[in-house]
Chains A and B, each alone.
Chain A
Amino acid sequence: MWVPSSVDRLIRALKKLPGIGTRTAERLVFFLLRNPSIIQELAQSLDQAAKELRFCSICHGITDTDPCPICQDPGRATGVLAVVERPQDVFLFEKLGIFRGRYHVLGGVLSPVDGIGPDQLFLRDLPERVQREQIQEVILALNPTVEGDATAQYIHDLLKDSGVKVTRIARGLPAGSDISLTDVTTLKEALLGRSEWE
């Protein structure tokens, strides 16, 4: 079957994206062909992102200026640092609008079977950063997986002697859920992590 080479190239490029198979890629391409203005917009955005996006040298989050606006913002609570796994977790916290501290993005979690040790993550600079920025509390906001928990443990051990308070986000029932539909482990965690009525 003959397909114009630029169309073929575009389909193959789109298929490299997560969650996009041949059919979706084809649908997107033929949609774009009918909407040339979107092609222009997309091309410019991609070009700009490729040129400007980088990792913040302090928090290792995604940014277009280095240091990132959050690290530069003097209005941010200095003393509190949230440790997260991935850059997109920062945006999630920002969307909440209730956290006013700063972030530290690890870039993943410990996973020896995948060859990820402390040196493959942004971990080594954490104690120094805690000291430099006079952090009083480090909040571990990692996924409650075996690897997330081991990484939290590693950070806890790493910061043990620094005198900083290390906390972790609570685990338990999702808001708006139904207790009868919750799996028993989550229910157990929620029961063990219960807090006093205030």
Chain B
Amino acid sequence: MRIQSVHLLHYRNFGERSFYFTDGLQVITGENGVGKTNLLEAVGYLSLGKSIRRVPDPELVQWGADFFLVEGTVERNTGATHRIKIRYWQGKKEAFLDGKRVEALRELFQVFPVVSATPLDQPVVEGEPEARRSFLDRYLGLLDPVYAQKLAQYRRALRQKNALLREGHVETLAPWNRQLEQTGAYVVQRRTEMVRTLQEVLKNGRQVSLPREEVTLAYQPSLPLREGILDAYIEEEHERGVALYGPHRDQILFLYRGYPLEHVGSQGEKWLFLLTVLMGLRDLLAQHYGELPVLLLDEPISIFGESFVQKFVAGLEGQTLITSVHPVSIGTPIPI
């Protein structure tokens, strides 16, 4: 799986630009502010249909323009190529695959899967439970559309329940609890499976950087979700005015040497941990799609140093795109 070319029109700071890529490591270089990360983000946009930095679409439009267009050609291992085009105009986003409009943006990921890490993913390794859940949810939702739907239903029911708790109307909580238990059970089941599979992949996969026996992932539910169980906490939740139990409060533990990463890891080790998890995800997605996803890393050299990145990338299969403010002697330079 690789990206061959990207054509941008009014995307971020780009008026109209085209970029071409080859196999292996692609290093997007240029001074600060020229748009290195924007190009990396645009490649991610072709896969996810949204910003890997979670920037809202209206902010991706070039200043003074009223639309943007991201187009790209991707090549699968079979040699087959696909054209992806995404247009955003007047609050409306339209995506096309080989000229045909796609119904769900998820279809793009199936043709062009990527995994990415940017400095904005730091909360994932800093122990923020919400960041870890949404990190996992992002990939689960792409792998399993039923998951995406159940999670959306869970969130909707949770919003309704919290509205009742805010108002103190606990006498009608029960039907919402049943909705949360039914949809939540699927969410917990899939997350648990995903964490277990990821752990397996990490154990059997190629060692990235940290000794693999020192990296453990675990899913810790806030309670054993089953029908009727949430009603036992109505009083406590009434007092606190907010829903306290369920998958929205579950923890995904990143354990380093058996301890929570956020307590024992140095800054460097935390990033290495994230990289390790990302490599596991990449292998897992490769098993699912039969193609190794393109890896996108924002400024890894400023975090890990050039010699580490060189060593790391040397052992990598597939295509990797990184940004770097310093000129480097490795990979294919993509100057902006």
Asked if residues A112 and B179 are in contact (CB atoms below 8 Å), the reply is no
Interface bits A146-187 vs B (CB < 8 Å: 1, else 0): 110111011001000000000000000000000000011100
- Best-buried of B159, B175, B176 by chain A (most CB within 10 Å): B175
Asked if residues A112 and B146 are in contact (CB atoms below 8 Å), the reply is no
Asked if residues B179 and A149 are in contact (CB atoms below 8 Å), the reply is yes
The verdict on B229 contacting chain A, using a C-beta distance below 8 Å, is no
In-complex Cβ contact of A146 among B145, B160, B167 (8 A): B160
Q: Which residues of B contact A184 (CB under 8 A)?
A: 145-146
Asked if residues B160 and A157 are in contact (CB atoms below 8 Å), the reply is no
Q: A146-B160, A184-B145 are in contact. Are A117 and B175 (CB under 8 A)?
A: no
The verdict on A188 contacting chain B, using a C-beta distance below 8 Å, is yes
Q: Which parts of A106-124 form the interface with B (CB within 8 Å)?
A: 110-113, 117-118
Asked if residues B172 and A110 are in contact (CB atoms below 8 Å), the reply is yes
**Chain B: CB-nearest residue to A151:** B175
Chain B residues with a Cβ closer than 8 Å to the other chain, count: 20
CB B312 to nearest CB in A, in angstroms, measures 37
Asked if residues B160 and A118 are in contact (CB atoms below 8 Å), the reply is no
In the complex, A185→B156 CA distance in Å?
17
In the complex, A113→B165 CA distance in Å?
11
Asked if residues A154 and B175 are in contact (CB atoms below 8 Å), the reply is yes
In the complex, A184→B147 CA distance in Å?
10
In the complex, A185→B161 CA distance in Å?
24
CB A80 to nearest CB in B, in angstroms, measures 23
Asked if residues A150 and B145 are in contact (CB atoms below 8 Å), the reply is no
In the complex, A21→B267 CA distance in Å?
57
Asked if residues A113 and B157 are in contact (CB atoms below 8 Å), the reply is no
Asked if residues A157 and B174 are in contact (CB atoms below 8 Å), the reply is yes
State the majority secondary structure of interface residues on B: helix
In the complex, A184→B169 CA distance in Å?
36
Asked if residues B174 and A112 are in contact (CB atoms below 8 Å), the reply is no
Q: Which parts of B122-178 form the interface with A (CB within 8 Å)?
A: 145-146, 149, 153, 156-157, 159-161, 163-164, 167, 169, 172, 174-176, 178
CB B220 to nearest CB in A, in angstroms, measures 26
CB B157 to nearest CB in A, in angstroms, measures 5
Q: Which residues of A contact B159 (CB under 8 A)?
A: 113
In the complex, A153→B161 CA distance in Å?
14
In the complex, A150→B173 CA distance in Å?
10
Q: A157-B175, A185-B149 are in contact. Are A150 and B163 (CB under 8 A)?
A: no
Can you offer 29 A-B residue contacts whose CB atoms are under 8 A? A110-B160, A110-B172, A110-B175, A112-B163, A112-B164, A113-B159, A113-B160, A117-B172, A118-B172, A146-B153, A146-B157, A146-B160, A146-B179, A146-B183, A147-B156, A149-B179, A150-B157, A150-B175, A150-B176, A153-B175, A153-B178, A153-B179, A154-B174, A154-B175, A157-B174, A157-B175, A183-B145, A184-B146, A185-B149
Q: What is A's interface to B at a CB cutoff of 8 Å?
A: 110-113, 117-118, 146-147, 149-151, 153-154, 157, 183-185, 188
Further 18 A-B residue pairs, CB within 8 A, beyond A113-B160, A117-B172, A146-B157: A110-B160, A110-B175, A112-B161, A112-B167, A112-B176, A118-B172, A146-B153, A146-B156, A147-B156, A150-B160, A150-B176, A153-B179, A154-B174, A157-B175, A184-B145, A184-B146, A185-B145, A185-B146
Q: What is B's interface to A at a CB cutoff of 8 Å?
A: 145-146, 149, 153, 156-157, 159-161, 163-164, 167, 169, 172, 174-176, 178-179, 183
